[in-house]
A and B are shown apart, each in its own frame.
Chain A
């Protein structure tokens, strides 16, 4: 009788454990879902720090799904500059020159406004599983939060960072921390979320710091002052005609 009770308890525990276990792929899908909105509107700033000082560029951004986004810079030095990403294509608009430039291939790798963020980082597609094999390493705390620690190994050569380790919140699936390395494991960049905000029940980064680990005293902070999700957006926002207006 006693033995039967023990067996029943063990069976129940195993069942509960297997029901609650989550795979690395599921974590990544939820992570991508958290970062992807049907539509969004945001305002914020990119604060770049290097050995020459601190530079702040403010922006407004609109996004639709995983592929379409428009960023318009509002700070004095860059006022009116726009970056439009549609599926597979990226355009820059410079108001002073009234010039529209299509970026493709290697040109997408250029730094945006001298920051540690490239155009492809800013507008990159959010289908992580298509680009990386993922492995759940452990669980670890980042500050006060429990996180899944995941390792991403690139499936192709076309991604910027062949290896990534990210810390994903076990409850909100927001990425708190990321380490981006070469295929030999050399750390190139580190990302850390400093502040969060809750929008429509989702916890999202408010202030994110990206540090270039190869360059001392070089870091970029991305701050979102306002974020609205699932807003009504005119589809024309993501058109080339709108870019030059």
Chain B
């Protein structure tokens, strides 16, 4: 019986070629769009997460227990002490770590270099030039000059910030900041390098200076606001975070250890919301395709009501007729799903290899994503399989209602149908 139904459904699909093709194309376009948008969303999220770990948070961060709640004020008084000893202990357990001091400052621009005097509030990151690149990945982002050397009054800047203030390698700026305790200090710094960081949040505002220089100016020698730890991509940050307090021991200082997921929880929450809203858009794309299928099926069933009456008059049971129409609809869905998946996959090859450059949008706006310009796609077998299956199943589901309605009519009414 199944064989008979399948054969009949295939015959019907071939009999109404134009209808079959048009409906399949509608499904294929909808599914291909779904695959493309989903691929970009997955790809941009993967790139963002990688850029967060490489340029913002590292894998795991150690801070003073009270620092996180006041982090927006960047208080130097809430710091980690005996930093080198702690980094040594982490190193003994195979963990690569680097200290950083983050502080707010007024950056004073001088007319001699910048053409006019000016000032702007900035966030400065003091890094250890010897170890920072073993935890963060700024080495390959340098586009002009060089990195600052230990103990020097040298500064490295993000390229977007440099463009905004027309800074060039060799220019001097002054940083006015509050030291550990609250005293004012002024530091003259020469720009020696410009980096083009793929993370737009960093590239828009990055200012890096040597930690030992800042330590002297701001009374932060052997102190840091954070110790950042690098882990291989395959390592579990939660496991490392739970191990670190044991390594550092129960010192006088209460420390907090946070993974990149906790540190970027705001980003992850925003992206979670964006994924939900994107899913709604994707669902709407799918719904449009479903309405197309449904409409076509209603027309097909209306056209074939007399045929349906004939089949019933010849004794074909109603459930079998309904199954036949659902199989036909599934056949259209299958054709659409195959062509949609192929079409989406071909487009995705280009997206994964080359991506689409949204740099013009990201330069002026902050969408939350940590990708500077090129949005690349990503392969997701699960997503392709789900899309394929959904195309077939949805097509079968939408055929159920019009078939049911036609079957509810009596046989003479079906045969008299014009």
Contact = CB atoms under 8 A, between A and B. Distances in A.
A158 B75 contact: no
A106 interface: yes
A106 B74 contact: yes
B74 to A, nearest CB: 7
A188 B181 contact: no
Interface string B39-76: 00000000000000000000000000000001001110
A140 B91 CA distance: 60
A184 B178 CA distance: 14
Nearest to B175: A214
A188 B77 CA distance: 22
Given A214-B119, A214-B176, A215-B117, A106 B183 contact: no
Given A157-B179, A214-B176, A106 B184 contact: no
A142 to B, nearest CB: 24
Contacts of B185: 182-184
Contacts of A218: 119
Contacts of B182: 106, 109, 157-160
Contacts of B184: 160-162, 180, 182, 188
Contacts of A51: 118
Contacts of B119: 214-215, 218
A162 B184 CA distance: 7
A139 interface: no
Given A107-B73, A157-B181, A215 B108 contact: yes
Interface in B353-394: none
B106 interface: yes
B183 A214 contact: no
Interface in A125-171: 154, 156-162
A216 B117 contact: yes
A105 interface: yes
Interface string A216-232: 11100000000000000
B176 A157 contact: no
A216 B117 CA distance: 7
A186 interface: yes
Interface in A185-220: 186, 188, 214-218
A91 B118 CA distance: 32
B186 interface: yes
Interface in B207-234: 219
Contacts of A109: 178, 182
Interface residues of A, number: 24
Interface residues of B, number: 23
B106 A214 contact: yes
Interface in A66-98: none
Contacts of A157: 179-183, 219
Interface string B168-191: 000000101011111111100000
Contacts of A188: 176, 184, 186
Contacts of A217: 117
Contacts of A182: 183-186
B183 A105 contact: no
Contacts of B111: 216
Contacts of A106: 70, 73-75, 77, 178, 182
B106 A161 contact: no
Contact of B181 (A156, A161, A184, A186): A156
Nearest to A218: B119
A180 B181 CA distance: 17
20 contacts: A105-B70, A105-B75, A105-B77, A106-B74, A106-B77, A157-B182, A157-B183, A158-B181, A158-B182, A182-B184, A182-B185, A182-B186, A183-B185, A184-B185, A188-B176, A188-B184, A214-B119, A214-B186, A216-B111, A217-B117
Given A105-B75, A158-B183, A214-B176, 7 more contacts: A157-B180, A157-B181, A158-B182, A184-B185, A186-B186, A214-B106, A216-B111
The 4 closest A-B pairs by CB, nearest first: A157-B181, A106-B73, A106-B75, A216-B117
